[in-house]
Amino acid sequence: MADDNRTATLTFDNKKVDLPIHSPSVGPDVLDIRKLYGQGGVFTFDPGYTSTASCESSITFIDGDEGVLLHRGYPIDQLAEKSHYLEVCYLLLYGELPEGDQLEDFESRVTSHTMLHEQMMFFFRGFRRDAHPMALMTGVVGAMSAFYHDSTDIADPWQREVATIRLIAKMPTIAAMAYKFTIGQPFVYPRNDLDYSSNFLRMCFAVPSEDYEVNPILSRAMDRIFTLHADHEQNASTSTVRLASSSGANPFACIAAGIACLWGPAHGGANQACLEMLKEIGTVDRIPEFIARAKDKNDPFRLMGFGHRVYKNFDPRATVLKQSADEVLELLGVENNPTLQVAKALEAAALADPYFAEKKLFPNVDFYSGIILEAMGFPTSMFTPIFAVSRTVGWISQWKEMIADPAMKIGRPRQLYTGATYRDYVDVENR
């Protein structure tokens, strides 16, 4: 953080507080309010953290107005086009693109950790078959701290590294097993001769009774979905991981907390909610009715897969994924799928509607990822688990950065209290 001795002066109630101004490498300046309570006796109020930088980070940068997303400085469209998921993982984790044999070494470390402790299979069997795969993932990832004791000491950099590799390697296995469990099929073990995405597709779609060959176009589309969701700076689930780990909790517990947060429909659950909405709309002729509902102030309905807290002109991830969606739909020859037809018509109708233009609402990454995953044959309940697989590296990168930061403190927000003031307890017969 560059400190050029500039300050902003806050004056109120005959008090004057000088607030240091920090300059980021790119993006808006940041007022440092850490001494505000000590010197001015006031808190700041910012529900939803719309104007608050909760940490210093050098991993990901977003300019929501310009539709820019950079990982370690590299734009997401270039990474999606020229790189692949495990290389992006390396970049996010270690700060630079791998050189020489660094990528091969990283890939082989990840590959050698893809299997789960065999005892964990029994753990899956304790769940109901009709459980949501996200419920299984939250439980199973949290349970990793009960299986991998030798990588839970966050003060030991070696254990942090082992936990990192284990999580990236095992998340696809856990997500695929959660899926297989809920559809009553046998688990398919990982195959280490396949790349990350092909292995995941095989673990989800292969059955012991038949050969399964991974289509390279689908594997590439899967890899793109993983790459595009790898990190997104201080979003709700990442902030959850940071907050959970600020207490010193072990990495598996913290990632489980991130998965729980991601599940919500305003965050990672939006891709499932979006496909469910498309199915509810059902036919193209019903689109005007749903657009009208989305615009009605008295109706809580929102067009899922539209809008974003940070991107206010376009979502650069959606631009890349729209192209992938076209490729996958053509390859699979599913252009006549009614849900996908509704999706295309809804996209066109919303983009042409002044309400959505004025409020800067456009299809986000979840709109297109849902379409691709549906076409690939994933049920909607697997959409968010796939997001969780992708985002694991982002959560861990941010977690590692936080643990290594000497300025790290336990997260402890303040509040604007509006409840009752002091009052004495009243015995029940006098209430």
Q: Please give the residue ranges that form the binding site for ligand CMC (CB under 6 A).
A: 232, 235, 266-268, 270, 294, 302-309, 359, 361, 364-366
Element containing residue 21 per DSSP (H, E):
strand 15-23
Q: What is the DSSP letter of 71?
A: E
Beta carbon nearer to ligand CMC, 190 or 268: 268
- CA–CA gap between residue 303 and residue 301 (Å, rounded): 7
Beta carbon nearer to ligand CMC, 212 or 301: 301
- CA–CA gap between residue 383 and residue 194 (Å, rounded): 22
Asked if residue 276 lies in contact with residue 380, where contact means CB atoms within 8 angstroms, the answer is yes
Beta carbon nearer to ligand CMC, 366 or 374: 366
One-character DSSP codes across 204-272: HH--TTS-----HHHHHHHHHHHHHTS--SS-HHHHHHHHHHTTT--HHHHHHHHHHHHTSTTTTTHHH
Three-state DSSP state, 102: helix
Q: Could you tell me the smallest distance in angstroms from the CB atom of residue 359 to ligand CMC?
A: 4
Q: Which residues of 96-145 form beta strands (DSSP E)?
A: none
Q: Could you tell me the smallest distance in angstroms from the CB atom of residue 391 to ligand CMC?
A: 9
CA-angle at 347, arms to 346 and 350, nearest 5°: 80
Beta carbon nearer to ligand CMC, 22 or 309: 309
Q: Could you tell me the smallest distance in angstroms from the CB atom of residue 357 to ligand CMC?
A: 12
Asked if residue 320 lies in contact with residue 76, where contact means CB atoms within 8 angstroms, the answer is yes
Q: What is the DSSP letter of 131?
A: S
Beta carbon nearer to ligand CMC, 190 or 269: 269
Active centre residues (catalytic):
308, 366
Three-state DSSP state, 69: strand
Residue nearest to ligand CMC (CB): 307
Q: Could you tell me the smallest distance in angstroms from the CB atom of residue 293 to ligand CMC?
A: 9
Beta carbon nearer to ligand CMC, 86 or 350: 350
Q: Could you tell me the smallest distance in angstroms from the CB atom of residue 310 to ligand CMC?
A: 8
Amino acid at 245: S
Name, in order, each residue with C-beta under 8 angstroms of 155's C-beta and a sequence gap of 6 or more: none
Name, in order, each residue with C-beta under 8 angstroms of 206's C-beta and a sequence gap of 6 or more: 188, 212
If phi > 0 it is left, if psi is from -120 to 50 it is alpha, else beta; for residue 209 that is: alpha
- CA–CA gap between residue 431 and residue 422 (Å, rounded): 17
Determine phi and psi for 308, rounding to 5 degrees.
-160, 145
355 token code pair: 């309400």
Q: Could you tell me the smallest distance in angstroms from the CB atom of residue 265 to ligand CMC?
A: 6
Beta carbon nearer to ligand CMC, 167 or 303: 303
